[in-house]
Amino acid sequence: MKPVVTGVALEYRDTFTFAKLDVNTQREKTTEYQIRGTPTYIVFKDGETVGRFVGAMSSTKLVAQILGILGIEETE
């Protein structure tokens, strides 16, 4: 998933930001965010969790998930 996330992060850097959490070293945050599997994506808006999803997926699906949760229509 790293290449997919990296590509999406670069392409959509003006729309949203990715942050990475190392579940092996950040146990408190892993528990706080109830991360049970990886990859887990948690979408925040204005500091609040507004959605989450789990699993590997294509860049198209990843972008669609994030934009859908944020209520942003994709423009090309």
- Confidence class for position 76, pLDDT limits 50, 70, 90: low
**CATH number, domain containing residue 50:** 3.40.30.10
Taking the C-alpha atoms of residue 45 and residue 36, their distance in angstroms, rounded to an integer, is: 22
What is the residue range of 46's domain? 2-70
Q: Is the pTM of this model over 0.85?
A: yes
Taking the C-alpha atoms of residue 44 and residue 48, their distance in angstroms, rounded to an integer, is: 5
Model pLDDT, residue 73: 87
- Confidence class for position 55, pLDDT limits 50, 70, 90: very high
Q: Please check whether residue 20 lies inside any domain of the structure.
A: yes
Q: Please check whether residue 76 lies inside any domain of the structure.
A: no
Q: Specify the number of domains making up the chain.
A: 1
Taking the C-alpha atoms of residue 3 and residue 26, their distance in angstroms, rounded to an integer, is: 22
CA-wise closest residue to 44 among 26, 10, 17: 17
Contact between 57 and 65 (Cβ < 8 Å): yes
